[in-house]
A and B are shown apart, each in its own frame.
Chain A
Amino acid sequence: MVKGDSGMRKRTLVRAGVAAVTIAAVVILASPNGAFGQSSSTASTSPAHKVDFVEGTTADIKYTNPFTAISSSEYEILELNYDLLLQFGQKDLSASPGLAEMPTQSADGLTWTFKMRPGATWQDGQPVTSKDVLWTYRFVLQNDIGTLTSYFPFTTPDSFSAPDDQTFVWKTSKPTSAPLYPAWVYILPEHIWSKLSVKKASTDNSPVFPLVGSGAFQMDQWNKTAHTWSLSANKNYWGGAPQIDNYVIKKYDNVEAMVNALKTGDIDYASGISPDLFNSLKGVDGITTNAGVPSGFANLIFNTRGDYPAPDSSANPIGTGNPALLDPRVRTAIAMAIDKQDLVDRVLRGFGQPGTSIVPPRSAFWHWQPTPDETIPFDIAGANKILDDAGYVDTNGDGVREMPGGGKPLDFRLDIESEDSSRVRAARYIAGYLKQIGIQVTTQADSYQKTLAFWTANDFDMYMWGWGPDPDPSFILSVFTTDQCEIWSDACWSNKKYDQLYEEQKSATDLDARQKIVFQMQQLLYKENPEIVTYYDDTLEAYRSDRWTGFRLSPDPNGYLLNQYTTYSAITMHPVAAGQANAGSGGISTGVWGAVLLGIAAIIVIVVLVRRRKPDEERA
């Protein structure tokens, strides 16, 4: 059969059309205004000479609302965009002037008066006044905002007042040093936030960009496709104009990809690097590494809940915890059997310290270390003796001890989060140590959410966790109080003496007096072992030193390049040489891509034309 000429032409046109549409679709879809270029940007196109700094992170940013933010990356955005009334000092993270000067305290110790910093403005040009502080602090207390309320002991919403725009007064019903913690609550502009409903202000997660704060940077873009968050510099910042134009945070799926991007120059800085990858960066041209003092700890938690019911409990108050773990002697024996130095050497590759207390060494003034007499030594024989003496013996010869009287074996489940490779490795070593004292450990690696589910249902014997507490110890100390069962408490441990000491430290007005109580609390936890602080891991970060310089460590010495709770470095860092900074990823040029696409189009057209010229007979 021979097709007519019109049919042939029609087919040719269809083919050419398909080719044209395909190419056009790719170009249009990838254009910034096309479907793929979507972002919530309000920034205009910037000239090429702008200086961008790109930080890599693996912690996702989901909330930019200061009342709902929780992760370290979220707090980083807040610290760049907003200010505290008093900020963390560069040297030792103690309270130092922020939006206000250092306060004066009345003779009875109950009234603190702050003078606002003159000339500080919101990023929309309005002045920052004491009314903004008043609105923010009252909102936190009136609406019981999560953990933020713990910064305001002995206060009610009426404890705060603003007699004039430059003066803020904070009263307490008991003497306290709380205003000097300092309160880690970012001050928000009343003229914007007071217009929102309470529900929207306290829970909303659809921010309007640019975010208006008073900080050194202003977030103006959240690109959910590229997983980037961009902040532009606030050149009018009261603390000095940043020397860069844009601060960009890019999320990576895993540490390997992030470190790779640092090596290839896609990003300028990375933190939260694992020890092995950190080692691989040493000696790499153009990259400088920094191991900062530990700001957090990893711990091994025991189910010590027993029959203690939480006030709001929906979980089983008894739970499925092994009863042997309610015996402090068993917990002490476990603490003695864990070789913490070995964990530091093998899991952290030496980048850390053996753990002792829940206040990490970064908070040097509050961090307690046991005296040699108090130290629970690594001593397998000693641990075995404690268990023997307490009547936990192996009666059936299977290598696992049983409860006194030949009951339940000491066979403990250990839950770990599978995403955390350090904890997974540590769990394996811990199982090995405990085998030597006749305790069987069955490790189980699960997702973060599943680990939480076991915790909620009180369905565990032991689990591994970690904390990165505030510079001030108040919050992390509160975690172990009875009130925190089913909220923040790791294991619902309940100790009246500890609870009482917690209240006492709140009302200690003298720093030294408070330090004494804070030490006592850490000592009590160390002795009772409701959980064991296994190690403190160094904060491992690295940056492109071939492009960047001018960082100011905080704390100093042994501090961090960035992510400092403040913006010291973010303001002072600058490119090594002008025009040398911008991170860039590899790739081929527009010209080459154009040639490739045109080439493909040309081939399609040629094929179509050649086929068209063939005599009809061949097409039959």
Chain B
Amino acid sequence: MGGRAYVLGKVFQAFLTLVLILIFNFFLFRIIPADPVKLLVRSSGHNMTEAQQDRLRHDLGLDLPVFPGQFIAYLKDTSRLNLGQSLFVSPGESVSSVFFRNLWPTLLLVGTSTIASTALGIWMGIYGGWRRGGFGDVSFMGSSLVLYAIPEFVLGILFLLLFGTALGWFPTGGFQSATGDYTGLAHVTDVLNHMFLPWLTLTLAYVGEFYLIMRSSLLDVLGEDYITLARAKGLREKVVLNKHAVRNALLPTVTLIALSFAFVLGGAITVETVFSYPGVGYLELEAIRSKDFPLLEGLFLFFAAAVIVANLVADLLYGYLDPRVRTA
């Protein structure tokens, strides 16, 4: 198979998966036995007559049969990126607008912490794999296994209690201070201060994952014949490591990195909740709690699309990094 066919094949696969998810997403939310209108009436406290409820049902398109009426409307709206309106979390606001409002804080927090834990984890993995059994390797291995094993929300609560409540070094939660019209640098500082503890939690919690993968993959590569050959050629150890070993050992890590970035979009549900950080993970929890179906449906679609795209990127990168994949 040539390179072009490989790319087209992968793109087609991704597209097909997306379509299947789209269909699944629709029916998933239709089999949940709850009448959104009834829920809306009781929680909003409106004294609605049956006729008014019917009108609302009509406005929401719930008077059509599930199939094909509602399904066709759903496909039409989704293709126009119209995902409907939130019912409870932010009543009346469009799902996309709610999502994008919460996306920015998440990108800032989870995005930068993923970059940091990736960079740190890979560096530690290379160092540990190269000096296997050394002091650095043993201490990295010990600490990253512990951090990886502690659930991230437990780590978050520990940091919150220690640095937030007991020592008072950092704010205990939220995205920014409630008062003070901070502008310019003061605002940046305020946001960074609020972000620091959740950021530290996420970075430390995920370093271990990258460290372990990178280390074991490097160890595999170091046993290969071409490494022995490189050494036999008289190349310096550093050159052997950087040019011959690390390059090849990075391959499995690429998939992990791509998928990690896909999950950035999904936010970090537990850590965002512990720190009341208004990101996508927090939004997800709120939507589930309040049974905000249109919002949940939209969120699921965004996440699924993100994972599919990231997978596609990983596949394509693989093909680029390792020619064997393309021709296999």
Closest to A38 in B: B101
User: How many interface residues does A have (CB within 8 Å)?
Assistant: 72
A30-B187, A449-B291 are contacts. A588–B104 as well, Cβ < 8 Å?
A: no
A246 to B180 Cα, complex, angstroms: 10
Of B38, B105, B115, B193, the residue contacting A36 (CB under 8 A) is: B105
How far in angstroms is the closest Cβ of chain A from B265?
A: 15
Q: Are A449 and B174 in contact (CB under 8 A)?
A: no
A228 close to chain B: CB less than 8 A = yes
Q: How near does chain A come to B29, taking the closest CB pair, in angstroms? A: 14
Q: Does B4 contact A (CB under 8 A)?
A: no
Q: Which residues of A contact B177 (CB under 8 A)?
A: 226, 266, 584-585
Q: What would 17 A/B residue contacts be, using CB atoms closer than 8 Å? A: A30-B191, A32-B182, A32-B184, A44-B181, A70-B45, A205-B91, A225-B176, A261-B172, A264-B168, A264-B172, A314-B35, A447-B291, A448-B43, A584-B177, A586-B170, A587-B196, A618-B238
Q: Is B270 an interface residue (CB 8 A)?
A: no
Q: Which residues of A contact B101 (CB under 8 A)?
A: 38, 224-225
* Cβ-closest chain B residue relative to A149: B47
Set of chain B residues within 8 Å of A43, measured between Cβ atoms: 181
User: In the bound complex, do residue B189 and residue A227 qualify as a contact, i.e. CB atoms below 8 Å apart?
Assistant: no
Q: Is B105's CB under 8 angstroms from A225's CB?
A: yes
Q: How far is the CA of A502 from the CA of B114 in the complex (A)?
A: 63
- Give A398 to B291 CA distance when docked, in angstroms: 39
How near does chain A come to B305, taking the closest CB pair, in angstroms? 21
Is the pair B187, A32 in contact by a Cβ cutoff of 8 Å?
Answer: yes
Contacts of A264 in B (CB 8 A): 164-165, 168, 171-172
In the complex, whether B139 has a CB less than 8 A from a CB of chain A is no
> B49 to chain A: which residues have CB within 8 Å?
312
Range class of the B interface residue count = 35 or more
* Max count, chain A CB within 10 A of own CB: residue among B105, B168, B169, B172: B172
Cβ-defined contact, B171 with A585, below 8 A: yes
Q: In the bound complex, do residue B44 and residue A587 qualify as a contact, i.e. CB atoms below 8 Å apart? A: no
Question: Any chain A CB within 8 A of the CB of B324?
Answer: no
A552: CB under 8 A from chain B? no
B90 partner, pick from A62, A147, A594, beta carbons under 8 A: A62
Which chain A residues lie closer than 8 Å to B50 at the CB level? Answer: 312, 314
Q: What A residues does B45 contact at CB under 8 A?
A: 70, 146-147, 488
**Segment of A174-182, A186-194, A252-260, A335-343 engaged in the interface with chain B:** A252-260
Which residues of A37-55 have CB atoms within 8 Å of chain B's CB atoms?
37-38, 43-46, 52, 54
Residues of B within 8 A of A419 (CB): 289
Check B193–A27 contact: CB distance below 8 A. Answer: no
Q: Quick check: is A455 within 8 A (CB to CB) of the other chain?
A: yes
Is A63's CB within 8 Å of the partner chain B?
yes
Cα(A243)–Cα(B35), bound, Å? 48
User: Residue B190 at the A interface, CB < 8 A?
Assistant: yes
**A252 contacts B47, C-beta separation under 8 Å:** no
Report the minimal beta-carbon distance from A286 to chain B, rounded to whole angstroms.
13
Q: With A and B bound together, what is the CA distance between A479 and B132 in angstroms?
A: 73
**In the complex with contacts A30-B192, A586-B164, A587-B171, A63-B91 CB distance below 8 A:** yes
Q: Say which residue of A228, A450, A590, A619 sits within 8 Å of B188 (CB atoms).
A: A590
**Residue B215 interfacial (CB < 8 Å):** no
A583 surroundings in chain B (CB, below 8 A): 178-179
- Name the distance in Å between B17's Cβ and chain A's nearest Cβ: 30
- Once the chains are docked, how many angstroms separate the CA of A351 from the CA of B172? 28
What B residues does A35 contact at CB under 8 A?
104
Interchain nearest-CB distance for B71 vs A (Å): 24
Report the separation of the CA atoms of residues A584 and B177 in the bound assembly, to the nearest whole angstrom. 7
Contact B34 A146 (CB under 8 A): no
Tell me whether A585 and B172 are in contact (CB under 8 A): yes
Give the residue name and chain of the B residue nearest to A70 (CB).
B45
A449:B39 contact, CB within 8 angstroms: yes
> How distant is A8 from chain B, measured CB to nearest CB, in Å?
14
CB nearest to A36 among chain B residues: B104
Output the least CB separation between A593 and chain B (Å): 5
CB pair B174–A250 under 8 Å, yes or no, is yes
Q: Which residues of chain B are within 8 angstroms of A144 by Cβ–Cβ distance?
A: 47
B188 proximity list for chain A (CB < 8 A) = 27, 30-31, 590, 593
| Known contacts A585-B193, A589-B189; is-contact A453 B179 (Cβ 8 Å) | no
Across the interface, which residues of B come within 8 angstroms of A593, CB to CB?
Answer: 188-189, 192-193
Shortest beta-carbon distance, B43 to chain A, in Å?
Answer: 7
Cβ–Cβ < 8 Å partners of A96 in chain B = none
Q: Which of B44, B92, B168, B278 contacts A227 (CB 8 A)?
A: B278
The answer to whether A456 touches B278, judged by C-beta atoms less than 8 angstroms apart, is no
Chain A contacts of B184 at CB under 8 A?
31-32
Q: Give B160 Cβ to nearest chain A Cβ, in Å.
A: 8
Q: Is B108 interfacial (CB-CB < 8 Å)?
A: yes
- For window 89-141 of chain B, which residues contact chain A by CB distance below 8 Å? 90-93, 101-102, 104-105, 107-108, 112, 115
Contacts of A117 in B (CB 8 A): none
Q: Roughly how many angstroms separate A456 CA and B37 CA in the complex, as a whole number?
A: 11
B185 and A36 within 8 A (CB):
no
Q: Does B235 contact A (CB under 8 A)?
A: yes
> Which of B43, B169, B243 makes the CB contact (< 8 A) with A586?
B169
Contact partners of A62 in chain B: CB under 8 A: 88, 90-91
Answer whether residue B46 sits at the interface, using C-beta atoms and an 8 A cutoff.
yes
CB of B200, distance to nearest CB on chain A (Å) = 13
B276 with A453: CB separation less than 8 A: no
Assess A587 versus B39: contact at CB under 8 Å? Given A32-B182, A45-B183, A447-B291.
no
A26 and B190 contact, Cβ closer than 8 Å, known pairs A226-B178, A260-B164? no
Is B239 a contact partner of A619 (Cβ separation < 8 A)?
yes
B185/A253 in contact, CB under 8 A: no
* B109 smallest CB distance to A (angstroms): 10
Q: How far is the CB of A416 from chain B (nearest CB, A)?
A: 15
Q: How far is the CA of A22 from the CA of B112 in the complex (A)?
A: 9
B92 touches A204 (CB 8 A): yes
**Does B42 reach chain A (CB closer than 8 Å)?**
yes
The smallest C-beta distance from B113 to any residue of chain A, in angstroms, reads 12
- 0/1 per residue, B273-306, Cβ < 8 Å to A? 1001010001000000111000000000000000
Q: Is the CB of A584 within 8 A of B180?
A: yes
Which of B47, B104, B169, B183 has its CB near the most chain A CB atoms (within 10 A)?
B47
Q: Is the CB of A46 within 8 A of B181?
A: yes
Q: Is the CB of B43 within 8 A of A54?
A: no
Residue contact A228 to B168, C-beta cutoff 8 Å: no
Given A32-B184, A226-B278, A447-B289: A452 and B42 interface contact (C-beta under 8 Å)? yes
A204 to B85, CA, bound (A): 13
Expressed in whole angstroms, the minimum distance between the Cβ of B276 and any Cβ of chain A is 5
B282 nearest in chain A by CB position:
A253
Whether, in the assembled complex, B261 has its beta carbon less than 8 Å from a beta carbon of chain A, the answer is no
Q: Is A68 an interface residue (CB 8 A)?
A: yes
User: Which residues on B sit within 8 Å (CB–CB) of A609?
Assistant: none
User: Which of A54, A449, A586 meets B178, CB within 8 Å?
Assistant: A54
Q: Once bound together, how far apart are the Cα atoms of A108 and B291, in whole Å?
A: 52
